[in-house]
């Protein structure tokens, strides 16, 4: 049995705690202009699932309740892509419905898809994956492989691509080998956990932001997004400041954010999280 990676185990725990939820879904919508063969596209999606084991991995539990990965064999894969005709102004709502699917990680493969025909030569493919199977960096390999498979299938042949050097299960086993057991005080995992416990001890939870409404007792996970642009002159100044202090532009921007939060009333102890890809080896580059 293949254990869960630490990232997978975190998501499995939240799944057990909160139940099926769309909070950790990763949706993507692809628009196709021109002639499209739906049957070929469906076969291409299955090709991508066959190539990447994470897209057909279930989280199941043994007799003691411990979770492990169970990869569904390709010949046992039950997966279809429904095709429906809708008006162009209905696309956003249709994609949102697909994106809001609540996965049962123990019984459903962590990907769903639907194809919408908006006109004779216009289609939209809606894909949604659970974060247990994919991340932001997975979108590049996913779209490339889907394009390769569709081109090949359209020509009447199976896709020919180089075999992936590793699957996600391989990464999991490597991670466990490197980090070791948390119960072993000499393991790398114990050392790192001890470090972060010291670093984060006493940090305010949550940050005392001067918000305009009371924090809800139950998280809604309905975050907001504010887009803005940094002008060329400001960006040049950021890069100049970074060079002067042997730092990077992101380090400067993070410092600016910390100062802003502090002046808004968060004090001198400000915790800022930043997402990382975690792809520390070239072998992971093309992996979903």
- Indicate whether 264 belongs to any domain: yes
Same domain, 87 and 121: yes
pLDDT of residue 277: 84
Percent of the chain having pLDDT more than 70?
100
Mean pLDDT of 68-80: 93
- Cis peptide leading into residue 206 (ω within 30°): yes
Is 280 a residue whose pLDDT tops 90?
no
Tell me the percentage of the chain whose pLDDT exceeds 90: 78
pLDDT band, residue 205 (cuts 50/70/90): confident
| Whether pLDDT at 116 is above 90 | yes
Q: Is residue 210, in this structure, part of any structural domain at all?
A: no
Asked if residue 178 belongs to a domain, the reply is: yes
Burial classification of residue 72, based on how many CB atoms lie within 10 Å of its CB (0-12 exposed, 13-18 middle, 19 or more buried): middle
Residue (of 26, 45, 54) closest to 135 by Cα position: 26
In a domain, 215, yes or no: no
**Both 237 and 147 in a single domain?**
no
Is residue 133's pLDDT more than 90?
yes
User: Which residues, other chains included, contact 277 with Cβ-Cβ below 8 Å and sequence gap of 6+?
Assistant: 135, 136, 137
* Structural domain boundaries enclosing 265: 223-277
Q: Tens of pLDDT along 88-110?
A: 999 999 999 999 999 999 999 99
How many structural domains are present in the chain? 3
Encode 163-184 in three state secondary structure: CCCCCHHHHHHHHHHHHCCCCC
Give the dihedral sign, CA 20/23/26/31: positive
Mean pLDDT, rounded, for 160-177? 94
Measured torsion, CA atoms of residues 190, 194, 196, 197, in degrees rounded to the nearest 10: 130
State residue 46's pLDDT score: 95
pLDDT tops 90 at residue 120: no
Asked if residue 213 belongs to a domain, the reply is no
Are 253 and 141 members of one domain? no
40/175 same-domain check? no
Is residue 216 domain-resident?
no
Average pLDDT, the chain: 93
**188 and 233 part of one domain:** no
Record the pTM.
0.87
The DSSP bridge pattern shows strands 111-119 and 122-130 to be: antiparallel
Q: What is the mean pLDDT of residues 205-231?
A: 86
Query: For residue range 32-41, what is the model confidence (pLDDT) as tens digits?
Result: 999 999 999 9
Residue 57 burial by CB count (10 A; 0-12/13-18/19+): exposed, middle or buried? buried
Sheet with 2-3, edge to edge strand ranges: 2-3, 67-71, 57-61
Looking at the fold, whether 50 and 72 belong to one and the same domain comes out as yes
């Amino acid at each position: 049995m293949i254990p869960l990676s630490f990232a997978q185990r975190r998501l499995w725990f939240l799944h057990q705690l909160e139940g099926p939820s769309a909070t950790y879904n990763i949706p993507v919508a692809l628009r196709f202009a021109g002639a499209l063969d739906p049957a070929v596209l469906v076969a291409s999606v299955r090709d991508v699932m066959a190539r990447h084991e994470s897209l057909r991995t279930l989280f199941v539990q043994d007799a003691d309740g411990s979770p492990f990965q169970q990869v569904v064999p390709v010949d046992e894969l039950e997966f279809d892509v429904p095709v429906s005709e809708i008006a162009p102004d209905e696309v956003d709502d249709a994609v949102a419905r697909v994106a809001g699917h609540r996965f049962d990680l123990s019984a459903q493969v962590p990907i769903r898809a639907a194809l919408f025909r908006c006109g004779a030569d216009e289609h939209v493919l809606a894909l949604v994956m659970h974060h247990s199977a994919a991340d932001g960096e997975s979108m590049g390999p996913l779209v490339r492989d889907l394009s390769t498979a569709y081109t090949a299938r359209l020509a009447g042949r199976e896709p020919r691509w180089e075999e992936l050097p590793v699957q996600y299960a391989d990464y999991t086993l490597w991670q466990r080998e490197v980090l070791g057991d948390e119960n072993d005080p000499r393991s790398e995992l114990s050392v790192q956990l001890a470090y972060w416990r010291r670093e984060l001890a006493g940090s305010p939870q949550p940050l005392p932001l001067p918000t305009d409404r009371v924090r809800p007792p139950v998280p809604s996970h309905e975050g907001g997004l504010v887009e803005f642009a940094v002008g060329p002159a400001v960006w040049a100044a950021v890069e100049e400041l970074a060079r002067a202090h042997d730092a990077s532009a992101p380090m400067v921007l993070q410092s600016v954010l910390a100062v802003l939060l502090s002046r808004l009333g968060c004090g001198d102890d400000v915790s800022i999280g930043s997402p990382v890809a975690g792809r520390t080896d070239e072998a992971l580059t093309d992996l979903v």
